[in-house]
Amino acid sequence: MTACPAPTADLLDRLAHLLGPSGILTAPSDTDPYCTDWRALYHGRTAAVLRPADTAELAQAVTLCAQAGVAMVPQGGNTSMVGGATPDDSGREVVICLSRMNRVRRIDPLDHTMEVEAGVTLKAAQDAAREAGLMLPLSISSEGSAQIGGVLATNAGGNNTVRYGNARELVLGLEVVLPDGSVFHGLRRLRKDNTGYALRQLFVGSEGTLGFITAAILQLQPQPRATEAALCAVADAKGALALFAAFRAQDPALIQAFEYMSGAGMDLVTRLVPGASLPLAEPAPAYVLVELATPRANADLRGALEDVLGAALEDGTVTDAVIAESEGQRMALWKLREEHAEAQRRAGASVKNDVSVPVSHVPELIDRATAACAALIPGIRPAPFGHIGDGNIHFNLVQPEGMDPAAFLALDHRIMDTVGAIVRDLDGSFSAEHGVGRLKPYMMPDWRGGAELATMRRIKDAIDPRGLLNPGAIFPPDTGNPARVTPDA
Amino acid sequence: MTACPAPTADLLDRLAHLLGPSGILTAPSDTDPYCTDWRALYHGRTAAVLRPADTAELAQAVTLCAQAGVAMVPQGGNTSMVGGATPDDSGREVVICLSRMNRVRRIDPLDHTMEVEAGVTLKAAQDAAREAGLMLPLSISSEGSAQIGGVLATNAGGNNTVRYGNARELVLGLEVVLPDGSVFHGLRRLRKDNTGYALRQLFVGSEGTLGFITAAILQLQPQPRATEAALCAVADAKGALALFAAFRAQDPALIQAFEYMSGAGMDLVTRLVPGASLPLAEPAPAYVLVELATPRANADLRGALEDVLGAALEDGTVTDAVIAESEGQRMALWKLREEHAEAQRRAGASVKNDVSVPVSHVPELIDRATAACAALIPGIRPAPFGHIGDGNIHFNLVQPEGMDPAAFLALDHRIMDTVGAIVRDLDGSFSAEHGVGRLKPYMMPDWRGGAELATMRRIKDAIDPRGLLNPGAIFPPDTGNPARVTPDA
């Protein structure tokens, strides 16, 4: 994809001299893992993976590459769901991985902030906050591998967004190496600072196309002193939404997570995943996993949960419910939610749609998309689940039983387009959490075209005029048919 | 300031034809109120004030002006503290005021969102949310006049930021007319949408230099079912901060407001403002006004307040406290805080500093800035107050008793520079809430220079290449000495 020149031997020599032996990988056996994305949709090549030790080294390496006009692909934990950090197969793009910059620089308890480098895994950052008696309120399934730089570059979401917002809302300050090697020193830990454009907000979610996020100041929260979780049987998504509204009317600040699961998805989990069983008397058309939490001692959190559940059982919104009586039971409830992806994998080929709509439209999304997909492929098994309180549903579809997986996957774009048309009709988004990456740029002109995409391009051209950073991500090629890649199961 | 041509008679004719008689003002007696800012620091002139009725009219008017190369100054309620919306005295800039676009378009209770046009006052938006049983959690002193467009263009803060964040955090979607008259249709009410750059975050806080915000989707909250307020006497800012930390450790979601007031400032209020009296046995070196609120019924909010206050009285952090026992008492406590500006006005000339530092540095800021100003002008009366939980202190200084006000004001920039140097040493900001406007661009190169200001300029040049929008705001002139304006008292 990149029109940039390959790095010359001289450039590679200079980079090796700058970064030292542990700072550059050139053998294909070493670089290969950096050239394939987590979903194995993209298989690229690179002449070098650069692994700078600190911001100064990175800035010098970027300056050298920029002077040579060489394209650079930033990479963190390489957990993108949309091929956001994979070089193309020309071998001309260098990968720059910040995993060696992995220090938690400081935690300020009075400010409720932490300063972390890009290469710290989200899990390590959570742990450091916890050891300081605080909480970093961001949690995603890949948190053991995903690194802060990528988490911020993609504005990660996850289970606690309903309470604390996306990654974007946690960022007070950023340090960024720009495409020319200059450094934006924005590591301020100010809650209020109205001095010009909010550059940090532009870099968050820009998927490595505008700069390398090297460090960040993140806002922390107190640790919860009490947590309660319940699994609730409901008639449908409308019932799930009514339950959400009831909990939110009580106190949105208590809702740590509010997850929807379809009856079909739950059936796959309990049948196919060892150790997963439904703790209710009988299966239901749909389920909610609600978790309440509060840092306040003696807040009668159990009472708060029972108040809403009791009223919902009485008025029929909830038909059955179980409250976790121990940490072990709470983890067992979460297992039912977290094993949805694994259960779908065991059930055969599946197609994923990470979509969002206004919260009020979720029931209509699920009803219409379920019917449309069934009409398209008889026997298809829709298993939607996810963050209903954010309007974010992972509308995944499992192949009909007995169908050839390859035949099913050959229809992937017809399925995605079917779901997409309904999402669009409901004023939704084709990518709620995962971003655009290399998988979805072809959708940008249709969904975000006109003045919106034109303005994004202007910004890209202003900050990275030669298009050196993460070519192929977010923006569709200017000419010709935008590329569509067929995802694996 | 603007190098753009004056509007021709032909352009004004076409604008008058487009906008109709109620859409354009040209008589100086009509346009004068739009040409002076709220603090009366700037006195400009304009050939026309345009008042479009809707987004389509605005887009056409902007197109006409852009085609003629005429500069445009967006204006909302004209309540800027930094001359953010005043045309220069060349008469060549037209003012575009969106106050006729004043509809609350819709409120979606299930989505917890409202769609409002730019010309709705913040107060009217709050009222509309309240009538729908919800709360727009943004409150500033000018809310009766300030309009949503300006509130978002300046990323307003205020008393509830400690709980709900700045205006920025409330914005889900925006509609913006760009400098060429094209329209960014981003009125999405999605809580999750990772499809390219977060343009709305760029326009929020851009002070009308990148586009006209015409409408927004704002996130709402449930109304509190209980509110408790207390005035607490503390030894100093360190004590105030210790009290804040105690309330936050209990539950940050309960802290609706947490305001610091100096003993000197309170003394001015109780001596100079009729009807203001201290409800404590004796004056203290410093005070905190804390307000807790929760939407949860039966949350024992009074108990939560008393728990923290009791412990703080016991360990000496708080030396005395009074809890409001009625709405009238609560309003009386707030009057002590809200009359700070009026009391300072009655005490003579004063100099204002809207600064922020990391929360942990507030005590050092107050101590050092108080000492430094006293050394500069013996008898000067520092009366700092404000949002200590956000690290945002209005470090205002009242003239010494008996000093000539003009002589005091002649020293305004020495005072501001003295405070500024300490703020900067503490990694703070020279404008926490009020923005840059025309008053503070000269500070940008020193405080936000290097790659940060260069990147802002690149963005400005990319989106508004001819510099037609709000010339003179945010960016210092490229050449010559940046202009400094001396504020009035």
Nearest residue in B to A163, CA atom: B253
Phi-psi sector, A6: left (phi>0), alpha (psi -120 to 50), beta: beta
Show the tokens assigned to A413: 């774009």
pLDDT of A380: 97
Pick the closest to residue B482 from B439, B441, B448, B451 (CA basis): B441
Is there a contact between B58 and B96 (Cβ–Cβ < 8 Å)? yes
CA distance B232 to chain A (A): 20
Report, as ranges of residue numbers, the positions in chain B whose pLDDT lies below 50. Answer: 479-482, 488-489
**What number of H helices and E strands is found in chain B?**
18, 21
B193/A431 CB distance under 8 A: yes
Average pLDDT over every residue of A204-217: 98
Give contacts of B62 with chain A, Cβ < 8 Å.
Answer: none
pLDDT of A486: 55
> Which residues, listed in sequence order, are joined to residue B350 by a DSSP beta bridge?
B398
Give contacts of A221 with chain B, Cβ < 8 Å.
Answer: 252
ipTM: 0.95
B155/A194 CB distance under 8 A: yes
Q: What distances in angstroms separate CA B263 from CA B269, B282, B329, B383, one per listed residue?
A: 10, 11, 20, 8
Q: CA B48 to CA B38: how far, in whole Å?
A: 19
| B458: nearest CB among A431, A454, A462 | A462
Nearest residue in B to A169, CA atom: B169
Show the tokens assigned to A165: 């917002």
CA distance A136 to chain B (A): 14
A356/B474 CB distance under 8 A: no
Q: What is the pLDDT of residues B334-368, one digit of tens each?
A: 999 999 999 999 999 999 999 999 999 999 999 99
Pick the closest to residue A389 from A263, A266, A289 (CA basis): A289
| A178: nearest CB among B178, B205, B455 | B455
For B345, residues 6+ apart whose C-beta sits below 8 A from its C-beta are B489
Give contacts of A434 with chain B, Cβ < 8 Å.
Answer: 194
A436/B195 CB distance under 8 A: yes
Best B114, B168, B194, B207 member to test A by mutation, with max A CBs in 10 Å, is B194
Is there a contact between B248 and B295 (Cβ–Cβ < 8 Å)? no
Nearest residue in A to B358, CA atom: A190
Residue A328 has pLDDT above 60, yes or no: yes
Q: Which amino acid is at B178?
A: L
Lowest mean pLDDT among A109-123, A162-176, A183-197, B466-480: B466-480
Domains located in chain B, CATH noted: 9-97 (3.30.43.10), 104-222 (3.30.465.10), 226-341 (3.30.70.2190), 348-425 (3.30.70.2740)
Residue A485 has pLDDT above 70, yes or no: no
CA distance B163 to chain A (A): 11
- Percentage of chain B with pLDDT > 70? 97
pLDDT of B3: 78
Q: What is the pLDDT of residues A399-434, one digit of tens each?
A: 999 999 999 999 999 999 999 999 999 999 999 999
Helix (H, G, I), strand (E, B) or coil at B218: strand
Give contacts of B356 with chain A, Cβ < 8 Å.
Answer: 190-193
| A248: nearest CB among B154, B222, B462 | B222
Pick the closest to residue A354 from A439, A425, A414 (CA basis): A439
Average pLDDT over every residue of A222-231: 97
Confidence grade of residue A28 (pLDDT, cut at 50, 70, 90) = very high
Q: CA A362 to CA A370: how far, in whole Å?
A: 12
Q: What is the pLDDT of residues A264-311, one digit of tens each?
A: 999 999 999 999 999 999 999 999 999 999 999 988 999 999 999 999
Block residue for tokens 């309009």: B147
B197/A191 CB distance under 8 A: no
Show the tokens assigned to A309: 């559940």
Confidence grade of residue A477 (pLDDT, cut at 50, 70, 90) = confident
pLDDT of A204: 98
- Percentage of chain A with pLDDT > 70? 97
Count CA atoms closer than 13 A to B298's CA, side-chain side. 5
For B274, residues 6+ apart whose C-beta sits below 8 A from its C-beta are none
Q: What is the pLDDT of residues B28-82, one digit of tens each?
A: 999 999 999 998 989 999 999 999 999 999 999 999 999 999 999 999 999 999 9
Best A191, A355, A434 member to test B by mutation, with max B CBs in 10 Å, is A191
pLDDT of A157: 93
pLDDT of B487: 52
Best B58, B195, B448 member to test A by mutation, with max A CBs in 10 Å, is B195
A427/B252 CB distance under 8 A: no
B429/A193 CB distance under 8 A: yes
Give contacts of A178 with chain B, Cβ < 8 Å.
Answer: 451, 455
Block residue for tokens 């294909």: A28
Query: Mean pLDDT over all residues of chain A?
Result: 95
pLDDT of A487: 52
Q: CA A123 to CA A140: how far, in whole Å?
A: 9
Give contacts of B168 with chain A, Cβ < 8 Å.
Answer: 198, 201
